[in-house]
Structure 1
Amino acid sequence: MQSVRDHLEIILSRLAARADDERVFTRLHAEAARAAADASDARKRVGVTLGPLDGTIVSIKDLFDVAGEATMAGSLMLKTAAPAPRDAAIVSRLRQAGAVIIGKTNMTEFAFTAIGDNMHHGTPGNAMEASRIPGGSSSGAGVSVGEGTSEISIGSDTGGSVRIPASLNGVVGFKPTARRVPLAGAFPLSATLDSIGPLARTVARCAVADAVMAGEAPTTPAPISLGGLRVGIPRGALFADTEAEVAAAFECCLGKVERSGARLADISIDDLLADLRAATKRGSIAAMEGAEVHADWLATGASVPVDPHVSGPLSRAAMLPAPVYIRALRRRAALAAAMEDRLASVDVLALPTTPVMAPTIVSMAEDAALRDRTEGLLLRNTQVANQFDLCAISLPMPGMTLPAGLMLVARNGHDHHLLRIAAEVERLLGS
């Protein structure tokens, strides 16, 4: 059986071979990872384990603090920031569980935007086809798991930033109920909407990483029968403009789920979506809270270049008066309660994670209107879980020319139930 150290060295040599054009990772922790791998191998030799994450190669998004180094959050502005005094809470928990943290992955600047491009560190090419976008904001995380340079990657998800790259790179991505996983030591975008979640090849790996980060005992999700499971299909606004191949793959997945005994029913949530859209018409909660995070440089001007796709929306949001923000938050709380009631009749919602597959990097750079439209589509379905305070997971749909995900969404706090359902759906789709 291959040692953890040998597995790590294979990955490090792959990364060394492309070091001159590295876009997936922004920083490698090679020596610390070697020490952690050796410690895991030593434990294994004497029959000791720290749990199911022991010896797993894990990468973390470039917005999590690692003691002794500046946290850059995909920006050059923070290159000279003071080094983090301690590891982020989730980094500390991952280390204690025996994870081998190999390095930090690339991301869109300040975790804003869903395309996955970064003008400072380069754009990581999609794991399936390098000429295509990775999806963001956890771009390097999706590519790293997709290409096998980490077994688990930890991202953040404010409007879909874990599930969008998972969908486009053909891996699993889990967004837990917000605040289950501590945000301490994670560079913020939106205190209200930020969640920390894993990307991996399997639901089981995501579940283990999620449990460790949430401070729970890590266990593989127990199988659950889909017989009698109530699956709501929110047809309407969230299904418009879906690419034909994505729609066909989704219906094929639904057919398998229904044949396994689940009860499918259309459920309408378009009124709640429209109400939230109206409540955040002048500015999204993420942009308004992000504008507060970045208020100082937005007021004085940035000392180094900032991606205009990031600085533009933040600047506009910074001009909005406080009542607009407070009213949006209050309306969101009421609508989240209404969504909780609406979803009481189902175990999960099912819909495409992204209605489109990954377009080319070049097309996004050359056509501003196409970029805006694509970004809107990439965020449209995933952001529902953040806006209404739900949990959600994206699973790869089989048989596609380019990847896209099947998203399952459950009510606030129903994370474990969702993971059990997802594990069974994953098994079903793979059979």
Structure 2
Amino acid sequence: MTPDLIAARGEIAAHRTTASRLVDTCLEAASGEACRHAFIGRFDAMARAAATAVDAQHAAGAPLPPLAGLAVSVKALFDVQGQVTTAASIALADRHAATCDSPAVARLRAAGAALVGHTNMTEFAFSGVGINPHHGTPANPATHALDGLARIPGGSTSGGAVSVATGAAWAALGSDTGGSIRIPAALQGLVGFKNTARLVPTEGAIPLSTTLDTACAITRTVRDAIALHEVLAQRVVQRSGHALGAMRFGLPTTLMLDSLEPQVAAAFERATATLRHAGAHIEDIALPELGDLAAINATGGFSAAESWTWHRSLLATHEAQYDHRVAQRIRRGERMSAADYIDLLHARRDWIEQMQIAMRGFDALLSPTVPLVAPLIADLQASDDAFFDANGKLLRNPSVVNMLDGCALSLPCHRAGEMPVGLMVWGPALSDDTVLDASLAIESALAAMRS
């Protein structure tokens, strides 16, 4: 199979295939067993029409658009004109269809994407696990191929990641509030880039936290992540092309390396050793500021306060239709006072200032994306304690970057035949181009190790 979107676009550009042919292949994959529960709404006719239009324009000599009529899936919290936006909740099933695309969707469409469907997700995006009791939970296709067991896909962009992993889409539009792009990417062996939040508009999407929400994408490769970011942010990524030997990375020893499962620890240590051998300068740093986050968020954090603001009226009338685990987390915001929220704003501002000082001199920081490999779906469905324990572990590392108002990319660092493990490359706000540039070099250096 063509390895990524950029390669597929090249095949179309060279007239060796067509967008229509590739979209048909993706739609066939979307109907396969590996993609079961990945979509809650399919846009087959819309996707085929978009691909046909690109093919006709290309045949007539028009420039091929950036996304070339290729299949892209859309997380079910983004408005798509003519479709009902539910955020995978039955509490919103009776909503009217969206009258226009959200800005992120409009930018994908304008760039020639063939939108193939609304993907399943954690209800209202409120967990990193990916379980959905209303629409079913898509099993992790990457791990299923290894042991045949139904493991979690990661969330909240669960179906989006599965759509990319199964070949039903070349990229998936999603959101990241505490890791919701990077967690499923890490658990499924994909690439997930969380840009600086302000670079892509989040209007036209059902919010979780208006402070932390980020609109971004899951892809197969770093170069695809760059292509999708350039479309979504309407900007050109500036690439230095520096070799790893010209880069300096920090490796935080506070929090990020705690309680790693053996498979994660082994893959991460092997990856960093490979990068050092390739010339990268990697320096352990204490970064004690990371230890302050639990106290800063002790009253519930931004997601609880801001989701309660959006959901309080709907919960009053439809709470019985919510996933009880989601409702429980939203209701934490009910107990937060205005003073708590203002204190949180001030504490975050001060913490970001301290972190920026501590991170100076590094091109980016390196960490495991999450400290565990994908648990079994059945184990987390059966126990609230097991669910919330896994959810806390999954969110621990990636949520640091959202609190920082930073940017981060997760890319796979495991070997073929091993459970997927993600390596996170991250930095402060507006260091997106540096993080992407470093990630390209890291991906290249790890390629031989991973084969």
Q: TM-score range by the shorter chain?
A: over 0.9
Q: Distance in 1 between matches of 2:224 and 2:62?
A: 20
1:392 equivalent in structure 2: 408
Which of 34, 43, 64 is the equivalent residue of 2:78?
64
Give secondary structure in 2 for the equivalent of 1:136: coil
Matched, 1:180 2:196: no
Matched, 1:108 2:122: yes
Offset of residue 301 of structure 1? 4.0
1:228 equivalent in structure 2: 246
Aligned letter for 1:250? F
Matched, 1:248 2:266: yes
Matched, 1:51 2:65: yes
Q: Distance in 2 between matches of 1:249 and 1:394?
A: 14
Note if contact 2:175-2:181 (Cα within 8 Å) is conserved in structure 1: yes
Q: Distance in 1 between matches of 2:192 and 2:28?
A: 26
> Residues 134 and 350 from structure 1, CA distance in 2 versus in 1: closer, same or farther, beyond 3 angstroms?
same
Q: Deviations over 1:320-374 (max 9, x none)?
A: 2111111111110111111111111211110100110001101111233222221
> Residues 185 and 50 from structure 1, CA distance in 2 versus in 1: closer, same or farther, beyond 3 angstroms?
farther
Q: Distance in 1 between matches of 2:142 and 2:437?
A: 28
Q: Distance in 1 between matches of 2:177 and 2:211?
A: 9
Note if contact 1:391-1:410 (Cα within 8 Å) is conserved in structure 2: yes
1:293 equivalent in structure 2: 310
Offset of residue 210 of structure 1? 0.8
Give secondary structure in 1 for the equivalent of 2:77: coil
TM-score by length of 1: 0.95
Q: Distance in 1 between matches of 2:355 and 2:347?
A: 12
Offset of residue 138 of structure 1? 0.3
Note if contact 2:22-2:70 (Cα within 8 Å) is conserved in structure 1: no
Aligned pairs for 1:234-313 (under 5 A) are 234-270=252-288, 272-298=289-315, 300-302=316-318, 304-313=320-329
Between stretches 397-406 and 247-256, larger displacement belongs to 397-406
Matched, 1:419 2:436: yes
Aligned letter for 1:307? D
Aligned letter for 1:150? A
Note if contact 2:86-2:92 (Cα within 8 Å) is conserved in structure 1: yes
Note if contact 2:209-2:307 (Cα within 8 Å) is conserved in structure 1: yes
Q: Distance in 2 between matches of 1:28 and 1:115?
A: 23
Between stretches 321-330 and 47-56, larger displacement belongs to 47-56
Aligned letter for 2:360? A
Q: Distance in 1 between matches of 2:44 and 2:366?
A: 40
Q: Distance in 1 between matches of 2:157 and 2:234?
A: 23
Give secondary structure in 2 for the equivalent of 1:293: helix
Offset of residue 50 of structure 1? 4.3
Unaligned runs of 5+ in 1: none
1:348 equivalent in structure 2: 364
Residues matched between the structures, number:
427
Offset of residue 179 of structure 1? 1.1
Which of 1, 6, 9 is the equivalent residue of 2:24?
9
Offset of residue 273 of structure 1? 2.3
Q: Distance in 2 between matches of 1:53 and 1:204?
A: 13
* Aligned-pair identity (%): 38
Note if contact 1:204-1:220 (Cα within 8 Å) is conserved in structure 2: no
Which of 135, 140, 149 is the equivalent residue of 2:168?
149
Note if contact 2:193-2:410 (Cα within 8 Å) is conserved in structure 1: yes
Offset of residue 253 of structure 1? 0.9
Give secondary structure in 2 for the equivalent of 1:264: strand
Q: Deviations over 1:17-45 (max 9, x none)?
A: 559x8300111111111111011112222
Aligned pairs for 1:91-106 (under 5 A) are 91-106=105-120
Q: Distance in 2 between matches of 1:304 and 1:95?
A: 36
Give secondary structure in 2 for the equivalent of 1:345: coil
Q: Distance in 2 between matches of 1:82 and 1:303?
A: 20
Which of 229, 234, 237 is the equivalent residue of 1:215?
234
Note if contact 1:61-1:140 (Cα within 8 Å) is conserved in structure 2: yes
Offset of residue 90 of structure 1? 0.8
Note if contact 1:60-1:101 (Cα within 8 Å) is conserved in structure 2: yes
Q: Deviations over 1:115-143 (max 9, x none)?
A: 10001110011021340000000000111
Give secondary structure in 2 for the equivalent of 1:238: coil
Q: Distance in 2 between matches of 1:189 and 1:289?
A: 7
Offset of residue 290 of structure 1? 0.8
Matched, 1:375 2:391: yes
Which of 147, 165, 178 is the equivalent residue of 1:159?
178
Between stretches 113-122 and 392-401, larger displacement belongs to 392-401
Instruction: Give the alignment's Cα RMSD to 1 decimal.
Output: 1.7
Aligned letter for 1:286? S
Give secondary structure in 2 for the equivalent of 1:334: helix
Q: Deviations over 1:200-221 (max 9, x none)?
A: 111111111111111124x695
Q: Deviations over 1:268-299 (max 9, x none)?
A: 223x223232122111211111111112123x
TM-score by length of 2: 0.91
Note if contact 2:39-2:117 (Cα within 8 Å) is conserved in structure 1: yes
Aligned letter for 2:256? L
Between stretches 154-163 and 337-346, larger displacement belongs to 337-346
Q: Distance in 2 between matches of 1:224 and 1:54?
A: 29
Q: Deviations over 1:158-178 (max 9, x none)?
A: 000000000001000000001
Q: Distance in 2 between matches of 1:308 and 1:187?
A: 19
Give secondary structure in 2 for the equivalent of 1:302: helix
Give secondary structure in 1 for the equivalent of 2:235: coil
Offset of residue 2 of structure 1? 2.3
Q: Distance in 1 between matches of 2:59 and 2:314?
A: 52
Q: Distance in 1 between matches of 2:135 and 2:301?
A: 27
Give secondary structure in 2 for the equivalent of 1:153: strand
